[in-house]
């Protein structure tokens, strides 16, 4: 990774053009900071770094004549390590912006530092709506997804597909409650009914009693308001209990292609979930998916594709602004529509939220899947304006009318 960056820098130095004067330190440096060895290593991880590098290469390796450099670090899900690295990058290593930022505690910590130091941060890996709510920043952006979009996608759109009655399996802490509450709201708005919910402690291994309650409730949809390993365990055990086979639907609120791949179709079939990207959706996404697959041996999920899109948009904004100074670039990013395979004609709200479509998907059965990584059927497309909180209502001071 370092070698290619150095090669790029050398190449650029050999052909140093005049325009580089507008770029601070003669190069644009983007830091990808995420979990590369812990529980989210597949969710974002090194694959996001690859996606960012692809974006830099596709842009031509240079912006306004200055070389683009992508560096990365593994924050190990510890906000103090992330904070230390972020400060060091900004203070001593001329990093112009930090992106990806998996896990909300890390994303919020880096958000505060970036705002203080007037640098751009672009989050693709964290779910919290705080980032574009009370903790929004004029230089902060949130791409790819958030808890609100997931709740609208799975909660609202699934009711329209006929899933009228719901029962929740909720992780017993703030994240679980907020997912359950938000999703219930959309279920009710669309005329659905919530029959009940059961709370399980974080890190549960045995879901049998919770799943039995869900089964006994007779609800059409069992919603999993939890994350990571808890969701995976619940899905595996639900397959053993035959929840999907007996006609109930299982809806995971935070689950991506990477986790479906980890579980395998046998266990995950019939699961419904929401993502803002699917590689096999159209020609452009397939083309990106194939190229990503050639480099990494896996297909991208919404975090990887979102990171690509974020890096590309940032570089486009630098080119348009004619400088890499934070304020003009941030302004261009707020004004310029995002137009790539990830988001088409999408806009960034005043609170920094990228408002793009999200998709309700169903995991295929092993028989339906025709090729490796052919995992989803797209059930519905939820327009961005419906999926994300209206910036004016988001609680962000910058977006107040």
Partner 1 sequence: MAAIMTTTTRSRRRKAINAETVLIALGVLALVLAPLYVYPVFLMKVLCFALFACAFNLLLGYTGILSFGHAAFFGGAAYFTAHAVKEWGLTPELGILVGVAGAAVLGLVIGFLAIRRQGIYSTMITLALAQMFFFFCLQAPFTHGEDGIQGVPRGHLFGLIDLSESMNMYFFVLAVFLLGLLAIWRIVNSPFGMILKSVRENESRAISLGYSVRRYKLAAFVMSAALTGLAGGLKAIVFQFATLTDVSWHMSGEVVLMTLLGGIGTLIGPIFGAAFVTTLSNYFATSQLPVTLVTGVIFMVCVLVFRRGVIGEFYASRLGRRLSQPKTEHCAEDEPPRS
Binding of partner 1 at residue 386 (CB under 8 A)? no
Binding of partner 1 at residue 76 (CB under 8 A)? yes
Candidate segments 12-20, 86-94, 141-149, 259-267, binder of partner 1 by CB under 8 A: 86-94
Among 69, 96, 130, 340, binds partner 1 (CB under 8 A): 130
Candidate segments 82-90, 216-224, 249-257, 346-354, binder of partner 1 by CB under 8 A: 82-90
Site string for partner 1, 10-39 (x = CB under 8 A): --------------------------xxx-
Binding of partner 1 at residue 79 (CB under 8 A)? yes
Phi, psi of 123 (to 5 degrees): -95, 130
How far, in Å, are 147, 287, 331, 367 from residue 374 at the CA level? 25, 14, 39, 11
Q: Helix H segments across 20-171?
A: 45-58, 79-92, 104-116, 147-151, 157-160
205 burial (CB, 10 Å; 0-12 / 13-18 / 19+) is exposed
What letter would DSSP give residue 33?
E
In the complex, the smallest distance separating the C-beta of residue 279 from partner 1, rounded to whole angstroms, is 26
In the complex, the smallest distance separating the C-beta of residue 88 from partner 1, rounded to whole angstroms, is 5
Among 9, 195, 198, 202, binds partner 1 (CB under 8 A): 202
Q: What six digits make up the tokens of 343?
A: 């988001």
Q: Among all chains, which residue has been given the structure tokens 């812990």?
A: 38
- How crowded is the C-beta side of 386, counted as CA atoms within 13 Å? 16
The answer to whether the CB of 173 falls within 8 A of the CB of 199 is no
Closer to partner 1 by Cβ: residue 32 or 360 = 32
Residues in touch with partner 1 (CB under 8 A) = 1, 36-38, 71-81, 83-85, 87-88, 91-92, 103-105, 108-109, 111-112, 128, 130, 135, 172-175, 201-202
């Amino acid at each position: 990774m370092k070698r290619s960056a150095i090669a790029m820098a050398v190449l650029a130095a050999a052909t140093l053009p005049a325009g580089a004067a507008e770029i601070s330190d003669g190069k644009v440096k983007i830091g990808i900071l995420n979990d590369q060895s812990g529980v989210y290593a597949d969710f974002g991880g090194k694959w996001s770094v690859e996606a960012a590098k692809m974006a830099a290469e596709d842009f031509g390796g240079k912006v306004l004549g200055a070389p683009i450099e992508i560096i990365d670090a593994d924050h190990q899900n510890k906000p103090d390590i992330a904070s230390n690295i972020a400060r060091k990058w900004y203070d001593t290593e001329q990093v112009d912006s930090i992106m990806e930022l998996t896990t909300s505690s890390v994303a919020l910590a880096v958000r505060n530092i970036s705002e203080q130091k007037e640098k751009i941060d672009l989050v693709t890996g964290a779910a919290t709506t705080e980032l574009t709510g009370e903790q929004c920043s004029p230089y902060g952006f949130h791409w790819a997804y958030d808890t609100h979009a997931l709740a609208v996608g799975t909660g609202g759109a699934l009711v329209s597909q006929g899933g009228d009655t719901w029962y929740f399996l909720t992780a017993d802490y703030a994240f679980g409650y907020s997912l359950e509450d938000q999703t219930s709201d959309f279920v009710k708005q669309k005329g659905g009914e919530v029959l009940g919910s059961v709370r399980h402690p974080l890190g549960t291994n045995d879901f049998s009693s919770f799943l039995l309650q869900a089964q006994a409730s007779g609800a059409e949809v069992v919603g999993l308001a939890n994350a990571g390993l808890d969701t995976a365990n619940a899905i595996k055990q639900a397959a053993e209990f035959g929840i999907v086979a007996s006609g109930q639907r299982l809806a995971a609120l935070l689950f991506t292609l990477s986790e479906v791949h980890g579980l395998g179709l046998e266990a995950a079939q019939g699961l419904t979930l929401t993502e803002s990207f699917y590689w096999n959706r159209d020609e452009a996404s397939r083309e990106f998916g194939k190229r990503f697959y050639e480099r990494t041996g896996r297909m991208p999920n919404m975090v990887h594709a979102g990171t690509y899109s974020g890096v590309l948009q940032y570089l486009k904004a630098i080119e348009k602004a004619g400088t890499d100074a934070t304020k003009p670039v941030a302004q261009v990013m707020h004004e310029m529509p995002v137009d790539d395979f990830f988001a088409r004609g999408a806009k960034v709200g005043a609170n920094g939220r990228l408002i793009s479509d999200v998709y309700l998907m169903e995991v295929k059965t092993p028989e339906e899947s025709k090729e490796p990584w052919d995992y989803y059927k797209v059930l519905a497309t939820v327009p961005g304006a419906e999926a994300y909180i209206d910036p004016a209502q988001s609680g962000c001071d910058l977006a107040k009318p």
